């Protein structure tokens, strides 16, 4: 059953948001992807977010860049947690995207992750964390993921590795 809805403002966001998809697949989390824009297809973006809870989705992830209003618009019409992924842009490396997503008014949070691919990966990890609160199998995946990161870092200190 699909648990996570990934929405991106443009196909130009796809290369970055593929990182979210890859990691969700690794975690065994079913997801769906939509290209919907807060500016170019506002009605469809809002309608998608409005129906997401009733369709059984648990988390929405929105990737957008520039005047990145997508995550905020989705958050305005859903009770699901919304994670925002800012795209890198030519303006100060994506600071425009980051501020557009993170600076939400009180009462309408968007869980904003880092700009670019690191953020796209963290959106998947955060989705796993949220799902893990009510499903032990996802929690176990998170425990294993963290342990594998720990092992990978420590391996750098083995004889001859550095
Ligand atoms: C945003 O505008 C999209 O999320 C994308 O990051 C940015 C540029 O979109 P394109 O002009 O490349 O379609 O809405």
Q: How far apart are CA 4 and CA 18, in angstroms?
A: 14
Q: How far apart are CA 110 and CA 114, in angstroms?
A: 13
**87 Cβ closer than 6 Å to some ligand 1 atom:** yes
pLDDT tens across 23-58, in order? 999 999 999 999 999 999 999 999 999 999 999 999
Ligand 1 mutation pick, 10, 37, 101, max ligand atoms within 8 A of CB: 10
Q: For residue 162, what pLDDT is reported?
A: 82
Q: For residue 160, what pLDDT is reported?
A: 86
**73 Cβ closer than 6 Å to some ligand 1 atom:** no
pTM above 0.95, yes or no: yes
Q: How far apart are CA 74 and CA 117, in angstroms?
A: 21
Q: For residue 54, what pLDDT is reported?
A: 98
HSE at residue 104, side-chain half, CA atoms within 13 A, is 21
Q: What is the mean pLDDT of the chain?
A: 98
15 pLDDT band, cuts 50/70/90, is very high
**25 Cβ closer than 6 Å to some ligand 1 atom:** no
**94 Cβ closer than 6 Å to some ligand 1 atom:** no
- Per DSSP, the three-state class of 13 is helix
**65 Cβ closer than 6 Å to some ligand 1 atom:** yes
- Per DSSP, the three-state class of 97 is helix
pLDDT tens across 53-101, in order? 999 999 999 999 999 999 999 999 999 999 999 999 999 999 999 999 9
* Residue 72 CA, ligand 1 centroid: distance in Å: 15
């Amino acid at each position: 059953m699909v648990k996570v809805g990934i929405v991106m403002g443009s196909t130009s966001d796809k290369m970055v948001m593929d990182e979210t998809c890859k990691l969700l697949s690794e975690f065994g989390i079913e997801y769906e992807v939509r290209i919907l824009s807060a500016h170019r297809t506002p009605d469809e973006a809002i309608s998608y977010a409005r129906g997401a809870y009733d369709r059984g989705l648990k988390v929405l992830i929105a990737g957008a860049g520039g005047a990145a209003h997508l995550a905020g618009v989705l958050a305005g019409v859903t009770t699901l947690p919304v994670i925002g992924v800012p795209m890198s842009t030519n303006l100060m490396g994506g600071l425009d995207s980051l501020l557009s997503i993170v600076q939400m008014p009180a009462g309408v949070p968007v869980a904003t992750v880092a700009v670019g691919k690191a953020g796209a990966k963290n959106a998947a990890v955060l989705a796993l964390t949220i799902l893990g609160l009510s499903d032990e199998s996802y929690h176990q995946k998170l425990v294993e993921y963290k342990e594998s990161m720990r092992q990978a870092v420590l391996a750098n200190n083995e004889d001859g590795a550095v």
